[in-house]
């Protein structure tokens, strides 16, 4: 079986930890973080919708992974194990946020300051239209059932194969394909409704 560079790097870190070479293991783990961080941030952001919370969730996931590296089973792709830990952390963070927001009134943000800036080379109108498209897609994603949303995000935002998505979520590959098909069809319907 051909192993990915990420899984090979994880195996090296696990071996170094088992040999007691924690300093070298930390250095190798930094390489592993470099390989996964961008993809992990995209996934976490899709779950949490806040860059600060997404960054925090990714950092916590990497810390958990490093601390539990001895329990990593090398016969499985490391990316699947890592994404499962990340997603569970994101879901826990969302639950905690929901509990907090029940007791806190939202702050009024009518200070008139626009925090988003237009992309370079885009007119204000193009920027507004792009923002509206992103908002429509984000809204449509939020309306998907949880399993369909998870499958779609892991496939399209994390770049996982259907087999890896199945491993991450504990589903068969056929079930992943069914959920993916339904998610795409539902997203098309939902975005078509907002466009009309």
The CATH architecture one would assign to domain 124-196 is Orthogonal Bundle (1.10)
What residues does CATH 1.10.10.10 cover in the chain?
A: 124-196
Coil vs helix vs strand at 108: coil
**C-beta separation of 66 from 30 below 8 A:** no
Binned at pLDDT 50, 70 and 90, residue 13 comes out as very high
pLDDT tens across 89-122, in order?
998 888 887 766 655 444 444 444 333 444 456 6
Q: How far is residue 77 from each of residues 1, 11, 50, 60, 178, measured CA to CA in Å?
A: 11, 10, 28, 20, 23
Tell me the pTM: 0.61
CATH number of 1-103: 1.10.1740.10
Binned at pLDDT 50, 70 and 90, residue 19 comes out as very high
Helices (H), 103-172: 124-143, 146-156, 162-169
């Amino acid at each position: 079986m051909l192993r990915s560079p990420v899984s090979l790097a994880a195996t090296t870190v696990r071996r170094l930890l088992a040999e007691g070479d924690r300093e070298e293991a930390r250095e190798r783990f930094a390489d592993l973080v470099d390989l996964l961080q961008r993809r992990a941030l995209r996934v976490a952001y899709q779950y949490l919708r806040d860059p600060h919370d997404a960054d925090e969730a990714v950092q916590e996931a990497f810390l958990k992974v490093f601390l539990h590296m001895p329990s990593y089973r090398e016969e499985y792709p490391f990316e699947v194990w890592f994404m499962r830990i990340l997603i569970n952390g994101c879901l826990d963070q969302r639950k905690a946020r929901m509990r907090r927001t029940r007791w806190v009134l939202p702050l009024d943000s009518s200070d008139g300051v626009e925090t988003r800036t237009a992309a370079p080379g885009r007119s204000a109108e193009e920027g507004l239209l792009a923002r509206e498209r992103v908002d429509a897609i984000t809204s449509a994603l939020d309306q998907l059932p949880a399993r369909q949303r998870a499958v779609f995000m892991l496939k399209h935002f994390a770049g996982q194969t259907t087999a890896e998505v199945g491993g991450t979520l504990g589903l068969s590959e056929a079930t992943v394909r069914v959920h993916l098909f339904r998610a795409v069809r539902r997203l098309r319907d939902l975005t078509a409704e907002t466009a009309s």
